Amino acid sequence: MTTTLSRRTFLQSAAALPALAAPALHAQAVPESGKPSPFKLGLASYTFRNFTRAQMIGFMQQLHVTGLNCKDVKDHLPMDPAAEAQALADYAAAGIQLHAAGVIGFPNDDDADIRSKFEYARRAGIGVIVAGDPTPASLRRIDRFVREYDIRIAIHNHGPEDKSFPSPFDVLKAVKDLDPRIGCCIDLGHAARADADLVDAIHAAGPRLYNLHAKDLANMKEKDSQVAVGHGVLPFREIFQALIETGYQGFVDLEYEIHEDDPLPGVIESFAFMRGVLDGMGYRVA
């Protein structure tokens, strides 16, 4: 679908008609005859990193998205227990469910540092920590905490710049002998830039896939070529089909990293496209 609206005009229109724009997108993606989608669409809070928690909640309500992968950025989910409790109360009042926390860094092979992050997730009732760049040496220590807390770790691949985990296949090699609750968060854009076949990566991860970050690229090799989902070259129908074939029942979280001061137009387009793909496959997104 093409449009002649500029991003600014589109944002102004969406802001002026929030009650109309989002339901219209939602209605197109939820045909009564469709089967429920086996996986869910959610949002990575880093998308709205320049906006407050209250603003992000308002955007999510416009988008009809209730699943949130939350990060300690702005005031989205502070590490401080009292501030975290207030954030959780605000999300609960808005009907927003936190299903993952991250990306959370694990730079230190240290019990106290690792425990603080598991406690942060446990207080929030979150069952998946999306881990950014844990050192290979720390994985055995993290394994102990996974067993103690029964919280899954999804290691996030960060592309060619990541010395330890450029692609999901590097994650899988590192965790194959660890507790099965340690697995992957596949970041589609970063994985593509690391020359990973995205469909093969999903099948290889199988039951160790605990989260997926959705983004699109105009050029598979260029990090700065990110575009709204559907405007790039990533094969989303094939990606979704692979998720269905492997029995994935978690979240596909949109992580829209561009236009950080004006992200809503691209976010709306991205969710509309993903819902449209699922609709075309015969699935509906509640």
d(CA 151, CA 253) in angstroms, rounded, equals 19
How many CB atoms sit inside 10 A of residue 185's CB?
30
| Predicted local distance difference test score (pLDDT) of residue 203 | 98
Q: How confident is the model at residue 286 (pLDDT cuts 50, 70, 90)?
A: low
Helix (H) or strand (E) holding 110: none
Radius of gyration of the chain (CA): 18
d(CA 66, CA 88) in angstroms, rounded, equals 13
Q: What is the mean pLDDT of residues 277-281?
A: 96
Q: Tell me how many degrees the CA angle 112-118-121 measures, rounded to the nearest 5.
A: 145
Q: How confident is the model at residue 285 (pLDDT cuts 50, 70, 90)?
A: confident
d(CA 96, CA 227) in angstroms, rounded, equals 26
Please, which residues bridge with residue 88 across strands?
none
User: pLDDT of 86-133, one tens digit each?
Assistant: 999 999 999 999 999 999 999 888 999 999 999 999 999 999 999 988
- Collapsing DSSP states into helix, strand and coil, what is residue 220? coil
| Predicted local distance difference test score (pLDDT) of residue 136 | 81
d(CA 67, CA 132) in angstroms, rounded, equals 20
User: pLDDT of 174-232, one tens digit each?
Assistant: 999 999 999 999 999 999 999 999 999 999 999 999 999 999 999 999 999 999 999 99
- Collapsing DSSP states into helix, strand and coil, what is residue 32? coil
User: In which region does residue 102 sit, left (phi positive, over 0), alpha (psi from -120 to 50) or beta (all else)?
Assistant: left
User: pLDDT of 20-67, one tens digit each?
Assistant: 333 333 334 444 558 999 999 999 999 999 999 999 999 999 999 999
Identify the CATH number of the domain defined by range 33-284. 3.20.20.150
User: In which region does residue 195 sit, left (phi positive, over 0), alpha (psi from -120 to 50) or beta (all else)?
Assistant: left
d(CA 194, CA 254) in angstroms, rounded, equals 19
Q: Is the pLDDT of residue 18 over 70?
A: no
d(CA 99, CA 69) in angstroms, rounded, equals 6
Could you state, in order of their start, the residue ranges of all structural domains in the chain? 33-284
Contact 279, 238 (CB under 8 A): no
Contact 157, 191 (CB under 8 A): yes
Helix (H) or strand (E) holding 226: strand 226-227
- What is the largest distance, in Å, between two alpha-carbon atoms of the chain? 54
| Predicted local distance difference test score (pLDDT) of residue 32 | 53
